[in-house]
Amino acid sequence: MIRPELDQNRSRPDRPLARALAMALLSVGVGLSAPVLAQTEAEPCLPLPYAADEARPSIVGAWEVTVVPSDPGIPPFLGFYNFFSDGNAIFSSAGPPLPALGNPGHGAWRRVGSNVFDVVIRQNTFDETLQANGSLRIESRVCLTALNRFVTSDDVKIYDPEGNEVVTLGGSARAQRLLAIRSAK
């Protein structure tokens, strides 16, 4: 039996049903990673200056991310990105309603401009009983706005267990690089 909200023969699922399904998948399954994100305050994505003898600005390292969901009913939540020099990436977050899940995401990144990067992350999604119920794909355009800050523009596609796209969401996030500096006592 095909559930109405997943029936590919329908031109468009009912908005309330699609929204409810998306929010259930996102909030339970994803804790949402840098994705169901809303626009943060605009920061220009201008080339960052660096001297000829310096390395180009890079996203390699660990980052604390504030995810701002596009749904005003869901408060912002914390996530973490790790970008590795070989092009691999890891993301985790503690989003609603199951923050303890801390759903990890795995993916890759590549430089597409002086201080602009494309990132793709995949995560599993889960239902309220923590059973796998699909996956999501986060596609982010990351703009380094300073050596230790970036903003994103994101598209999130949510898939059912058979790999059929259920819904696409969008938004943004902002991040601060984690530095190895001890706090004063």
pLDDT digits (tens, 9 = 90+) for 96-148: 555 556 678 999 999 999 899 999 999 988 888 888 888 989 999 999 999 99
Q: Are 162 and 133 in contact (CB under 8 A)?
A: no
Range of the domain at 100: 4-45+70-177
Tell me whether residue 57 is in a domain.
no
pLDDT of residue 16: 40
Tell me whether residue 152 is in a domain.
yes
Is it true that the peptide bond before 97 is cis, omega within 30 degrees of 0?
yes
Tell me whether residue 53 is in a domain.
no
pTM of the model: 0.72
CATH assignment at residue 166: 2.40.128
DSSP assignment of 93-123: E--SS-GGG--EEEEEEEE-SSSEEEEEEEE
Q: Are 94 and 31 in contact (CB under 8 A)?
A: yes
Q: Are 155 and 142 in contact (CB under 8 A)?
A: no
Those residues of the chain that have pLDDT short of 70 are: 1-44, 50-54, 71, 74, 95-102
Tell me whether residue 119 is in a domain.
yes
pLDDT of residue 102: 65
